[in-house]
Amino acid sequence: MSILEIKNITKSFGSLVANDNISLSLDAGEILALLGENGAGKTTLMNILFGHYTADKGSISIDGELLPPGSTEAAIKAGVGMVHQHFTLADNLSVLDNIILGTENLFAWRQDLSGARAKLEKMAEEFGLAVKPDILVGELSVGERQRVEILKVLYRDARVLILDEPTAVLTPQETEGLFATLKKLTDKGLGVIFISHKLNEILAISNRVAVLRRGAITGIVKTVDADRAMLAEMMVGHKVTRPRLEAAAAGAVVLQLSGVSVSGNTPTPLLNNIDLEVCAHEIVGVAGVAGNGQSALASLLSGLTRPASGTVELHGEALGEVTPNLMVSLGVGRIPEDRHASGVVGEMAVWENLISETLKSSEISHGRFWIKKPDALKRTEQLIEQYDVRCEGPLQQTKLLSGGNMQKLILARALSSDPSFILANQPVRGLDEGAIAYVQTQLLAARQRGAGILLISEDLDELMSLCDKLVVMYHGELSAPFVPKQKTVQEIGLMMAGHRPETGQEAAYAN
């Protein structure tokens, strides 16, 4: 029996067709996975369902009743609940406040707080989602915030629960907890739409999989009949193989951090007394849940922040006052976390972004004052060709490039000077499979050439497959390095949640 019926939904943004004639149905007690790459139209479809966007064509019905388009209120009333990828919670307000917003008559003279509290406690018990109602949301961990989001939906008696990339911010253990919750919800007859691009999770949790590519459904299959390779091909449109790490002997030490601390505007330091060593011909991966100090580490190595204590050595020489300029001149290639915010200046042309790190070289400028524009353009054309940046040419505005091509531009800038150390912070985040394979191949090629690479990522699979060594970051501290194959995903997951293998391992396993 289907509770949700999506029929022929089409939605365009300008010339981009985000959803092309999509039809889907969801049964009660079922988990339907919506699989697709970034930009395939998953989130757009869900935003239409939830009334954030209005579809150009098509209809949505719940229990056979048509849903009026473009009304979040109507969608909520009909029983649709959505847990957004970026949580829609207010940090400075309590859990209870966040949950009851919008559930009462807006112009009532008083709130029924005790009734709300009782209902919340009953629900929390029923679904095993324990929360403290009066704590501020800002004090909760990411996993707990997600629990609040789910409770918020359940509080409004939702029957269709949409989860948009719910595991992106969770440790492997928290993900298992979420999956257990979802099972309980479907047992009670809720229908769940689970949006993801992680194949193993989809195979683990869903009953059916709908695959989206470029706004259109490329297939709907039962999960029991599906496997990884098949889903990947449906998602990408062709066979994709990611590059593999080939054995290489590590060379001399390129980067050495000893006892480095970085303090921020917080009571605890952002980086606390960390030691780290990266050698030539080596990729060292930094695993960890976002927000545990990765950004501080990246800022430090990009020359944006200075250590409060400890030493940073490049090729055995201690760095004093670090600046971005110094790092570039010492041969550090930097791939920043957020392409749009700190990678490129979107308003400026491709060539301007490409030469921005080499402005002082005599190849590009006369005495640092005058840019030799013809030479700069020629150089840009070479790099565009070499790194396969798909654009109209050097003069195109950079913000018009797709994510993958923007990342290729950044790669071209960072790697063309043949850096001896490369800081790659989330280099494949938000890219499609083809671009991911390209970026990873380039990093591996740089490693072959002798660069030492520090790869920061939240994707454990990526780290396991690309890195010679791994360290885990938790609350600004780094674990001892280890070879990825020597630990299981579960063990690393525990380390990401703060367990130290020396002390907490057995206790954690006992749970």
Partner 1 sequence: MDLIEIFLTTGFWAATIRIVSPLIFATLGELICERAGVLNLGIEGIMTIGAMAGWMWVYQGGDLWTGVMFAALVGGTFGLVHSIFTVYLGLSQHVTGIGVTMFASSLSYFIYRMMLPDATTPPKIIPFQTYPIPGLSELPIVGEAVFTQTPMTYLALLCVPIVWYMLYRTPVGLAVRMAGENPVAVEAQGIDVLAIRTGAVVVGSGLMAVGGAFITMSAFDAFFFGMINGRGWIAIALVVFASWRPGKALLGAVLFAGLEAFQVRAQQVAGASILPYQFYLMLPYLLSIVAMVIMARRARYPKALLVPYRRGERV
Q: Which residues of this chain interact with partner 1, rule CB under 8 A?
A: 52-53, 71-73, 75-77, 82, 84, 86, 88-93, 97-98, 100-111, 152
Q: What is the DSSP letter of 246?
A: P
What would the two tokens of residue 67 be?
């849903």
Residue whose CB is less far from partner 1, 111 or 448: 111
CB-CB contact of 67 with 53 (8 Å): no
95-109 burial by CB neighbour count: b if 16+ within 10 A, else e?
bbbbbbeeeeeeeee
- How far apart are CB 99 and partner 1 at their closest, in Å? 9
- How far apart are CB 91 and partner 1 at their closest, in Å? 7
Residue whose CB is less far from partner 1, 160 or 328: 160
Burial class (CB in 10 A: 0-12, 13-18, 19+), 115: exposed
Distance CA 460, CA 228 (A): 17
N-to-C CA span, the chain: 38
- In a 13 Å sphere around the CA of 79, the CA atoms on its Cβ side amount to 18
Residue whose CB is less far from partner 1, 51 or 307: 51
Residue whose CB is less far from partner 1, 53 or 421: 53
Packed helices 142-155 and 113-127: angle between N→C axes, nearest 10 degrees: 110
Residue whose CB is less far from partner 1, 98 or 440: 98
Residue whose CB is less far from partner 1, 109 or 370: 109
Residue whose CB is less far from partner 1, 71 or 141: 71
- How far apart are CB 153 and partner 1 at their closest, in Å? 10
The amino acid occupying position 183 is K
Residue whose CB is less far from partner 1, 192 or 377: 192
- How far apart are CB 48 and partner 1 at their closest, in Å? 11
- How far apart are CB 267 and partner 1 at their closest, in Å? 13
- How far apart are CB 346 and partner 1 at their closest, in Å? 15
CB-CB contact of 186 with 510 (8 Å): no
- In a 13 Å sphere around the CA of 424, the CA atoms on its Cβ side amount to 35
Phi then psi dihedrals of residue 126, to 5 deg: -60, -40
Residue whose CB is less far from partner 1, 156 or 198: 156
- How far apart are CB 106 and partner 1 at their closest, in Å? 5
Distance CA 396, CA 296 (A): 33
Residue whose CB is less far from partner 1, 40 or 497: 40
- How far apart are CB 265 and partner 1 at their closest, in Å? 11
- How far apart are CB 182 and partner 1 at their closest, in Å? 20
Distance CA 233, CA 98 (A): 41
176's CB contacts (< 8 A; 6+ apart) are: none
- How far apart are CB 276 and partner 1 at their closest, in Å? 34
Residue whose CB is less far from partner 1, 109 or 369: 109
478-504 burial by CB neighbour count: b if 16+ within 10 A, else e?
bbebbebeebeeebbbbbbbebebeee
What would the two tokens of residue 410 be?
């950044």
- How far apart are CB 57 and partner 1 at their closest, in Å? 17
Burial class (CB in 10 A: 0-12, 13-18, 19+), 370: exposed
H/E stretch holding 423: strand 421-425
